[in-house]
Structure 1
């Protein structure tokens, strides 16, 4: 009988999590505000150059845009050209603009295989400077 009375008197301690969560949220808020205020600080005695300053200015190179219409014709400057003419144009463009980009704009109704084949042929000539243009909807 003593054993039963002992169990009834013993209580499991309760942990109230609400005050602990309040403290944690306050600390988290403090660190978020502190990190946001520190990111915009400037370094003393350092003046960064502006866009128009400096001796070397990088000019934006116009990409060479190649078209592939729905009949499968290759277009450059709105004129139909052959694959060999395209290869020569890409080589001369990249010789003048080593950092230039050659972009293929293909009609969306064309089979992917046909577009992919021309893109591979262009990459054989232009390397990593060749890309495929897409349109956002």
Structure 2
């Protein structure tokens, strides 16, 4: 007895589901990388430095915008309120590092005046935020 021949179908691998998974993983990494960049406070144009390096997480950031206004986080402070606010926030964060993020267009004297105020607090270490010169180069 002769059995009917089955038509041979070519063997193939359906890659459409695999492409869907690859795009889902790619979208996950793109979106998660957006949350990895640290953005604190107000946008300022930081000056560049050859020796720029990262700082530890336990810190307080004082921002001077282009008009010279002082901010901690996104809240503005007057000069006479700055010391009390920094003292309170430093004891709350259990750190003594204060990073000054001053816009490149802020006059040097204004930055020095804020630094002088902060130096009157006992045990405070000051740092000035910069960015590497590579980050300043415009994209071609």
- Given the two structures, how large is their TM-score scaled by the length of structure 1? 0.49
Task: From the two aligned structures, give the one with the greater helix fraction.
Answer: 1
Q: For CA contacts below 8 A with separation 6 or more, give which structure has more relative contact order.
A: 2
Q: Point out the structure with max Rg over C-alpha.
A: 1
